[in-house]
């Protein structure tokens, strides 16, 4: 059997999306989303999506890109995915080699990857000189069998619960809240927040983002908390980011924001919801448990330094 690693082609979008869901069922994957991330990537990311093809069938892929908006230059990310039925045939090694070669040429000096908490995945990462740094939790809520927690019957004076669609004409205030709320999230990649134009294009306008399900909490007209919702039209939704600006923390605003997303998602026909948090993000993990999410998978962040002679 012949294994080939090549650049992504538009006709590969469905196969790559199906592959991602098979390897990481907590991630949303659609042909539209895959095609979007390739066609709209900013030049500074130097993004390349590689596909591993075995006898005409795509059995693996890796997205290799520099991290946008980084506080420190040279950070990059690449996580290979190989279909469970085709592992052990060199596809993962070939994909990672192609990604590393591309990113090194693009100026990367530190490569990050997400590794599912399985013995084989850990062994693969260590064999390729990656070392693990920090864990993350992936959680799932069964919306078909579990009613989301009730929303408050009345909000405090000055507090309003909006949808993302209410901000469609001018999302800049939400971007400012997004950047401020995420500034102190646990992270060792120093990825930072992308510029507004990049955020608008690659987050707000991403085909997975559902503005009708997204929730925004305002206090006296000022955005205090939010929960960006993503869907795949396959009955699944996911949290793209939930955050509260530091000045408004401790008031219990993130919980109703996320609960409103879940209620709308259930009404929209979603049967399961996914979210993920760094293991050190205790406040959000606590909120998610209270909302009914349960552990689904664990990942580890791995990193490799790129040495140049």
* Local mean pLDDT, 10-residue blocks, the chain (309 residues): 93 97 95 95 93 95 87 87 93 97 95 94 96 95 92 90 96 96 74 84 95 97 97 95 95 94 96 95 94 96 81
SS3 296: strand
Asked if residues 82 and 123 have their Cβ atoms less than 8 Å apart, the reply is no
Asked if residues 79 and 63 have their Cβ atoms less than 8 Å apart, the reply is yes
Query: What local confidence, expressed as pLDDT, does residue 306 receive?
Result: 82
Name the burial class of residue 108, with classes exposed (0-12), middle (13-18) and buried (19+) by CB atoms within 10 angstroms of its CB: buried
Name the burial class of residue 308, with classes exposed (0-12), middle (13-18) and buried (19+) by CB atoms within 10 angstroms of its CB: exposed
**Rounded CA gap, 112 and 2, in Å?**
29
**Geometric angle at alpha carbon 37, from 30 and 123, rounded to 5°:** 80
- For tokens 């879940």, name the residue: 262
**Rounded CA gap, 282 and 195, in Å?**
28
Helix (H) or strand (E) holding 114: strand 110-116
**Rounded CA gap, 283 and 261, in Å?**
18
Query: What local confidence, expressed as pLDDT, does residue 70 receive?
Result: 58
SS3 187: coil
Name the burial class of residue 302, with classes exposed (0-12), middle (13-18) and buried (19+) by CB atoms within 10 angstroms of its CB: buried
Asked if residues 162 and 218 have their Cβ atoms less than 8 Å apart, the reply is yes
């Amino acid at each position: 059997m012949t294994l080939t690693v090549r650049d992504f082609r538009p006709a590969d979008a469905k196969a790559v999306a199906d592959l991602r869901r098979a390897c990481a069922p907590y991630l949303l994957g659609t042909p539209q989303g895959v095609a979007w991330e390739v066609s709209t990537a900013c030049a500074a990311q130097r993004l390349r999506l590689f596909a591993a093809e075995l006898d005409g069938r795509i059995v693996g892929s890796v997205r290799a890109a520099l991290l946008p908006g980084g506080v420190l230059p040279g950070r990059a990310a690449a996580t290979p995915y190989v279909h469970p039925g085709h592992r052990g045939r060199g596809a993962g090694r070939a994909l990672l080699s192609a990604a590393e070669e591309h990113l090194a040429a693009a100026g990367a000096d530190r490569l990050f990857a997400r590794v599912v908490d399985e013995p084989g995945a850990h062994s693969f990462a260590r064999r390729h000189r990656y070392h693990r740094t920090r864990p993350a939790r992936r959680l799932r809520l069964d919306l078909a069998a579990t009613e989301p927690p009730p929303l408050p019957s009345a909000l405090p004076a000055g507090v309003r619960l909006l949808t993302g669609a209410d901000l469609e004409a001018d999302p800049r205030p939400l971007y400012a809240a997004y950047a401020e709320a995420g500034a102190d999230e646990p992270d060792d990649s120093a990825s930072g927040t992308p510029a507004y134009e990049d955020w608008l294009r690659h987050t707000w306008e991403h085909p997975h983002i559902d503005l009708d399900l997204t929730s925004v909490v305002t206090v006296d007209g000022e955005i205090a908390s939010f929960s960006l919702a993503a869907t795949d039209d396959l009955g699944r939704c996911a949290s793209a980011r939930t955050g509260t600006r530091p000045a408004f923390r401790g008031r219990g605003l993130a919980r109703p924001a996320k609960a409103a997303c879940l209620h709308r998602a259930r009404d929209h026909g979603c049967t399961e919801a996914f979210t993920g948090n760094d293991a050190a993000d205790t406040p959000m993990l606590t909120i998610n448990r209270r909302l009914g999410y349960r552990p689904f998978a664990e990942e580890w962040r791995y990193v490799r330094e790129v040495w140049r002679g």
